[in-house]
Structure formats: C-alpha cells, structure tokens
C-alpha cells in the first residue's frame, strides 16, 4: 500500500473472466488503486481471449502465465506454479479473483497461502451439484477468500449458511451486467445479424460447453436430436465452444447452423436478436435475463436461480423431450422480462468501494471488516 493507493492484482484466465474483470479494473482505477492484470492463459485462442480484450477495450495483461489446457490437476497446478513466484515479486495488497474456473481456484489458493487478502467476485453461487467442477471451485474459493462479493441475495444466504463471517459478505450486484449495460449500444450497432443473414426474432441461439452435456456422447446425441426438432419451428445458430467442437464431428441436423466461437459484442448482438436462447452457460443465463430474452437452461440445476425467479430463464434438464417441450412453450408463451435488484451496472463500483476502504483500514492497522451489504451498497449508489 502506497500513499497513492493500494496495489491490487486482478486475475483473468477464461472467456467469462475477461468480461467480469473489466468493470472491477475500471472502478479500482477510478478509486485510485494501482491494478495489475494477470492472464493465466487458461483460454488462449484469439476467439476465446484476444477478441475480448479488443471488444471490451481492456488493456493488455501486465503478466501472462501461459498455463494452457490440461486435466483439472494439471491446469490448476500450472496456474499455481506460475502465479506463486509472480505474487511474491509483486507483493500486492490484495488479489481479486472472479467466477468459478480453475484459474480462480488456483490463484485464490496461492494468494491465501502467501497471506495476501483474497477478494472473490461472484461469491456464494451454488448449484448443489458437486459433479460440476465449477461447484468445487466455488466452494473452495469462497472458503479461502477474505472478502466475498455476492451478485444476489441467495449467494449471501449460502455464504452465511456455510459459516462465512457476516462482515466479509457483501451484496454488490452483478459485474457481468455492468459490462453488458456498458456495451449494449455498441453491440446493437454491429452488423452481426446482417452478416449472418439473420432476422431479429427469426432464430434461436444455442451455446453448450458443460462437460456433463458435451463429454458424454449419449447425452450430446440426445441434445442434438432435440435441437433438430426445435429447429423445425425456429432455426438455430450455434457458436461452438472449442470443448464442444471436438465432440460434434459435423453431426448437426438441418436448421442448426454451427459458427465458431463469436466475440463478446457479436454474442450480445445474437442474444438481443434471438427469439429464444438454449444454453448451459452461466453468463448467458444472466445476460438473457437482463436482455429480456426467453432462455432455457439445458442442465439439471443452476447456480443462478435468480434468473428463474426474477428473470426469463427456465431450467429444463437435458432429457430431449423436456428440452423440446420447454422450447415450444417459451416460443408460444414467452416469459415477461424482469431484472433482479442491483443488476444495474454499478457492481464494479460497489466492489471497489468496499475493497479500497478495507485495504485502507488494514494499512492503518484498523479492523479490516465490518458489516456492510445493503448499507454500503446504498452509500456507493448515493
């Protein structure tokens, strides 16, 4: 901590991370913090990483760990091994991790063991399904974190039920929504639909990448069959994630059009123009809610139930008949648009307000945490 403000290391490694760190970096800089962005290299293709820096106007990473792909243990260890010496060298006042990917867990673990305060953005989400690798990452990252920034009230409830100190838990809203609202008009202005020959309201959008959906050929076959049936009523476009690309082997039915992974602004444009979204993505569940687009989640559970209770999402599972029935219902009777409280474009500012104040208290030897949630969020909004 210098007179100029705290030094905060911010971690990003995979596609959704780049979108989440942007508003946090901006808000920290506006509050006088020095930020260092570390890219772990979990995602590395231009379509999974580079395009997001360009679309979001994100400065290039200050450090690149080049961890790359691998099994969970190999990838997590590669990030940890590369991050540890860098962290020692940087000696920051705090490390911010976002989301629930392997890079999140790896860097939280390294920072916690180095006795550097960890702040977790998107804390408290739980699917209740420990077969999801992300669920393990969420539980462990939250347990290791000193500051827990929850996007929605059920996140706060989970954290408190698991014994997190109440003063470490802050209800701040959703950083994914900050970025969406900041980029919406630029996305609307893009020629994405015209270039693909699509008409707004004339197609559905599909994204699938969860191991439980795409790694098991029988499950993937069933989902592809369901997409073919839905496409008879509403043609579908499907930007294919690299994990999924290797498993599809060209077997998509008529009416389901594969694309490569698309950039962030193109993905928002495709969501805005869609009549229906079919997904297993966490971020897309949230974005479709904010955009008011009917969404079906092709999973047995969601860690984002607020998109169901206060949004346009429905969790239909992965049984082909249930997916087709859900799609027919959403096409015939779309849900009304709604938006959760605090999903208002200011989550990054709330996070920065809490984090910089907490680090300033720590530097003065004062207690670093006190009860916050609503009171602070109101003040940050004032």
Residue 66 contacts residue 82 (beta carbons within 8 Å): yes
| Residue whose CB is less far from ligand UD1, 285 or 352 | 285
Given ligand UD1, ligand UDP, none, residue 284, with its beta carbon under 5 to 8 Å by kind, binds ligand UDP
Residue 106 contacts residue 76 (beta carbons within 8 Å): yes
Give contact residues for ligand UDP (rule: CB under 6 A): 15-16, 19, 207, 209, 239, 261-264, 267, 281-284, 287
Query: What is the residue whose two structure tokens read 């994990």?
Result: 243
| Residue whose CB is less far from ligand UDP, 92 or 273 | 273
Question: How far apart (Å, rounded) are the C-alpha atoms in residues 353 and 93?
Answer: 15
Question: How far apart (Å, rounded) are the C-alpha atoms in residues 302 and 279?
Answer: 11
15 in contact with ligand UD1 (CB under 6 A): yes
Residue from 50, 242, 253, 292 touching ligand UD1 (CB under 6 A): that is 242
275 in contact with ligand UD1 (CB under 6 A): no
Site string for ligand UD1, 43-72 (x = CB under 6 A): xxx--x--------------------x---
> Alpha helix (H) ranges present in the chain?
15-30, 51-56, 72-90, 102-113, 133-144, 153-161, 175-188, 192-196, 211-214, 217-233, 242-248, 264-273, 282-291, 306-309, 320-332, 347-363, 373-381
| Residue whose CB is less far from ligand UDP, 7 or 186 | 186
Given ligand UD1, ligand UDP, none, residue 19, with its beta carbon under 5 to 8 Å by kind, binds ligand UDP
Question: How far apart (Å, rounded) are the C-alpha atoms in residues 353 and 170?
Answer: 11
What is the dihedral sign for C-alpha 370, 127, 182, 378?
Answer: negative
| Residue whose CB is less far from ligand UD1, 39 or 170 | 39
> Which parts of 200-239 interact with ligand UD1 (CB under 6 A)?
209
Classify residue 327 as left (phi > 0), alpha (psi -120 to 50) or beta: alpha
The catalytic residues are 209
Given ligand UD1, ligand UDP, none, residue 127, with its beta carbon under 5 to 8 Å by kind, binds none
Given ligand UD1, ligand UDP, none, residue 93, with its beta carbon under 5 to 8 Å by kind, binds none
> Which parts of 107-146 interact with ligand UD1 (CB under 6 A)?
133-134
Where b means 16+ CB within 10 Å and e means fewer, 5-37 reads bbbbbbbbbbbbbbbbbbbbbbbbeebebbbbb
Given ligand UD1, ligand UDP, none, residue 207, with its beta carbon under 5 to 8 Å by kind, binds ligand UDP
Q: Which residues form the interface with ligand UD1 (CB under 6 A)? A: 14-16, 42-45, 48, 69, 75, 100-102, 133-134, 209, 241-243
């Amino acid at each position: 901590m210098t007179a100029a403000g705290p030094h905060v290391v911010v971690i990003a490694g995979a596609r959704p991370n780049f979108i989440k760190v942007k508003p946090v970096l901006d808000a920290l800089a506006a509050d006088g913090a020095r930020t260092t962005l570390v890219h772990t290299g979990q995602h590395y293709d231009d379509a999974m990483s580079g395009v997001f820096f360009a679309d979001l106007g994100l400065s290039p990473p200050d450090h690149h760990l080049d961890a790359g792909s691998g099994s969970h243990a190999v990838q997590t260890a590669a990030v940890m091994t590369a991050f540890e010496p860098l962290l020692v060298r940087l000696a920051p006042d705090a490390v911010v991790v976002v989301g629930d990917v392997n890079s999140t867990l790896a860097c939280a673990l390294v920072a916690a063991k180095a006795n550097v305060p960890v702040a977790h953005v998107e804390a408290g989400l739980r699917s209740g399904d420990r077969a999801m690798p992300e669920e393990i990452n969420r539980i462990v990252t939250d347990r290791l974190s000193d500051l827990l920034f929850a996007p929605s009230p059920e996140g706060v409830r989970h954290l408190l039920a698991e014994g997190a100190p109440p003063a470490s838990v802050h209800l701040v809203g959703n950083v994914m929504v900050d970025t969406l609202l900041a980029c919406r008009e630029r996305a609307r202005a893009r020629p994405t639909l015209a270039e693909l020959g699509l008409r707004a309201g004339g197609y559905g959008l599909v994204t699938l990448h969860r191991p439980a959906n795409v790694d098991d050929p029988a499950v993937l076959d069933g989902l592809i069959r369901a997409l073919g049936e839905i496409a008879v009523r509403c043609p579908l476009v499907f930007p294919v994630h690299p994990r999924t690309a290797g498993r599809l082997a060209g077997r998509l039915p008529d009416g389901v059009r594969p694309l490569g992974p698309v950039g962030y602004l193109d993905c928002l444009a495709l969501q805005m123009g869609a009549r229906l979204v079919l997904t297993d993505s966490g971020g897309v569940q949230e974005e479709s809610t904010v955009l008011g687009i009917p969404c079906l989640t092709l999973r047995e559970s969601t860690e984002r139930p607020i998109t169901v209770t206060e949004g346009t999402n429905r969790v239909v599972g992965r049984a082909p008949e249930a997916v087709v029935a859900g799609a027919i219902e959403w096409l015939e009777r779309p849900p009304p648009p709604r938006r959760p409280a605090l999903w208002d474009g200011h989550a990054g500012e709330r996070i920065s307000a809490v984090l910089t104040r907490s680090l300033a208290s720590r530097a003065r030897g004062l207690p670093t945490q006190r009860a916050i949630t609503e009171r602070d969020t109101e003040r940050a909004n004032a």
